[in-house]
């Protein structure tokens, strides 16, 4: 049972299929090559026999002549060469009159079977020489026959040569070739199995590594072989995937820790406040104060939970934009106004430059959220005495929103990641957030079909540029006076 299962697994393996495919292909090639050579050999032997027969036909004319008593062989009986030549010519031959009546013939031709008168007549009438292969008890003979004239008398002459030797050579070649073939196939099969195994070894190493990976060793990498082939490419892709997974897992792990910390602090505070109130408060005022403080922290808790919920909704596509037409210029001024007091508190100057009106088709709540996130970040990361500037400008077909600050800036290595979920530039700032603000910004811009771009110089400031496409009537009512309306406080 186990043996059958093992066998089944082996035959289904890529290694087996590769080796078997290669072997089948190789076997077909070898058989085709053997067949081709066998056929070529056959053609060569037949051509050579035909050429020899053509020569013999010419030679017969020199030795066979019509005498008074009829046709006969004429040669010098003392010349060994002539005796040899004529005896060769006489081995397989037939001479008949034009009616097919045999005049002279060799015993072998008799054994092969004399040509029938009808056959002889047909060949004589055609005028062209005839080439045939005839058999004497399985032994093949090549026969050349046709009209033969001497001293104005017409005869039918056929001369032949055995093909037996040639056929035996072909037979020996075929037998040897096909005897050795299974051995060659066996050697090739073993070689194919070995080569396929070697070629697929990196795949096994990938799968072994993949089996070892759990959430705690996601940083595992498969060593590259340096061959620059498809398998190296696969390993690179796999390693890249592992790196991304590792990063995501790290972020999620970090996020869980952060969320627990974020939630634990206000929860501990609320608990403390309520316990103190329960055990020490005496007057209604003291109770009231404790409850107010607790409420503030509960508010913070709610906002964190809301942010998490929103993020998951936006990621799963549950959050759909509620577009309506509103004045973007007014929205920018409103949000900027809301941030004036916190900005003042931090000693930061907040400026808003907008046209008088800028009607757009967008989701007001999300645009407000986008502005709030950008402005709160700008104020949070700008030291006292700095400046934050939000500017709305109209270009043909699009609205451009810029939020610029003179704050701490972002180092180039962090810049590509700041829009990632839960990504926070490491800092000692106790007011650090959850790293979700810019993820929202990116999602809102994307959902509106726009683009966001960030430039930053560490120590000098950061500029976020957002372009939103001109959906519906984005036609700003720029007044005749091009000077922008400016909101300045602080
Ligand atoms: P957070 O809630 O931590 O502010 P965000 O997603 O809004 O998360 O921002 C991600 C990171 O980008 C922050 O940790 C911060 O370091 C950096 N960042 C965002 N805006 C600014 C800015 N205006 N100036 C400097 N750093 C910024």
Q: Taking the chain, what is the end-to-end CA distance rounded to the nearest angstrom?
A: 85
300-335: pLDDT as tens digits: 788 778 877 877 777 666 778 889 999 999 999 999
Ligand 1 pocket test, pick from 424, 434, 457, 458 with the greatest ligand atom count within 8 Å of Cβ, gives 424
Q: Does residue 179 carry a pLDDT above 90?
A: yes
C-alpha of residue 241 to centroid of ligand 1, in Å: 27
**β-sheet bridge partners, residue 73:** 64
253-266: pLDDT as tens digits: 877 777 787 778 77
Q: Please, which pLDDT band fits residue 209 given cuts at 50, 70 and 90? A: confident
66-86: pLDDT as tens digits: 888 888 898 888 989 989 999
Q: Does residue 478 carry a pLDDT above 60?
A: no
Q: Residue of the nearest CA to atom 23 in ligand 1?
A: 378
- Tell me if 381 CB under 6 Å of ligand 1: yes
Distance from C-alpha of 443 to C-alpha of 448, rounded to nearest angstrom? 9
- Tell me if 438 CB under 6 Å of ligand 1: yes
Q: Mapping DSSP to helix (H, G, I), strand (E, B) and coil, where does residue 188 land?
A: helix
- Tell me if 405 CB under 6 Å of ligand 1: yes
Q: Mapping DSSP to helix (H, G, I), strand (E, B) and coil, where does residue 406 land?
A: coil
Residue tagged 């620059």 (tokens): 228
Q: Which of 391, 400, 362, 404 is nearest to 485 (CA)?
A: 391
Mean pLDDT of 484-490: 37
C-alpha of residue 216 to centroid of ligand 1, in Å: 29
Distance from C-alpha of 325 to C-alpha of 471, rounded to nearest angstrom? 10
- Tell me if 370 CB under 6 Å of ligand 1: no
- Tell me if 386 CB under 6 Å of ligand 1: no
Q: Mapping DSSP to helix (H, G, I), strand (E, B) and coil, where does residue 175 land?
A: helix
CB 159 within 8 A of CB 145: yes
Distance from C-alpha of 66 to C-alpha of 467, rounded to nearest angstrom? 115
- Tell me if 433 CB under 6 Å of ligand 1: yes
Distance from C-alpha of 119 to C-alpha of 360, rounded to nearest angstrom? 105
19-78: pLDDT as tens digits: 999 999 999 999 999 999 999 999 999 999 999 999 999 988 889 888 888 888 988 889
pTM, to two decimals: 0.49
């Amino acid at each position: 049972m186990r043996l059958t299962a093992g066998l089944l697994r082996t035959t289904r393996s890529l290694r087996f299929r590769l080796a078997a495919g290669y072997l089948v292909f190789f076997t077909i090639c070898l058989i085709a090559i053997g067949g081709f050579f066998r056929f070529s050999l056959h053609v060569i032997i037949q051509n050579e026999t035909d050429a020899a027969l053509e020569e013999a036909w010419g030679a017969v004319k020199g030795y066979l002549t019509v005498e008074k008593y009829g046709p006969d062989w004429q040669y010098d009986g003392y010349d060994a060469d002539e005796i040899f030549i004529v005896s060769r010519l006489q081995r397989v031959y037939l001479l008949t009159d034009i009616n097919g009546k045999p005049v002279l013939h060799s015993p072998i031709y008799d054994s092969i079977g004399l040509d029938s008168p009808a056959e002889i007549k047909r060949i004589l009438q055609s005028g062209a020489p005839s080439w045939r292969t005839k058999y004497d008890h399985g032994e093949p003979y090549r026969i050349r026959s046709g009209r033969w004239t001497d001293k104005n008398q017409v005869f039918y002459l056929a001369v032949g040569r055995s093909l037996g030797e040639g056929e035996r050579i072909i037979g020996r070649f075929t037998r040897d070739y096909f005897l050795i073939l299974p051995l060659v196939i066996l050697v090739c099969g073993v070689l194919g199995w070995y080569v396929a195994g070697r070629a697929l070894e990196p795949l096994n190493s990938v799968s072994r590594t993949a089996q070892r990976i759990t959430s705690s060793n996601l940083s595992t990498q498969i060593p590259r072989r340096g061959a620059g082939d498809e398998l190296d490419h696969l390993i690179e892709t796999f390693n890249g995937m592992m790196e991304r997974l590792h990063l995501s897992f790290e972020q999620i792990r970090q996020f869980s820790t952060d969320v627990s910390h974020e939630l634990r602090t206000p929860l501990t505070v609320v608990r403390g406040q309520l316990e103190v109130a329960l055990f020490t408060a005496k007057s209604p005022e003291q109770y009231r104060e404790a409850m107010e403080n607790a409420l503030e922290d509960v508010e913070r808790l709610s906002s964190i939970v809301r942010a998490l919920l929103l993020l998951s909704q936006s990621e799963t596509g549950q959050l759909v934009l509620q577009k309506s037409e509103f004045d973007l210029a007014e929205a920018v001024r409103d949000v900027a106004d809301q941030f004036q007091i916190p900005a003042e508190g931090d000693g930061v100057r907040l400026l808003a430059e907008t046209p008088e009106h800028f009607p757009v088709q967008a989701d007001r709540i999300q645009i407000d959220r986008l502005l709030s996130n950008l402005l709160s970040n700008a104020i949070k990361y700008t030291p006292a005495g700095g400046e934050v500037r939000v500017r709305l400008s109209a270009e043909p077909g699009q609205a451009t929103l810029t939020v610029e600050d003179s704050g701490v800036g972002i180092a180039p290595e962090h810049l590509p990641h700041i829009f990632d979920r839960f990504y926070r530039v490491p800092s000692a700032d106790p007011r650090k957030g959850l790293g979700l603000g810019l993820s929202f910004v990116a999602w809102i811009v994307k959902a509106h079909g726009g683009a966001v771009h960030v430039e930053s110089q560490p120590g000098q400031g950061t500029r976020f540029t957002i372009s939103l496409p001109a959906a519906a009537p984005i036609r700003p009512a720029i007044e005749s006076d091009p000077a922008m309306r400016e909101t300045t406080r602080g």
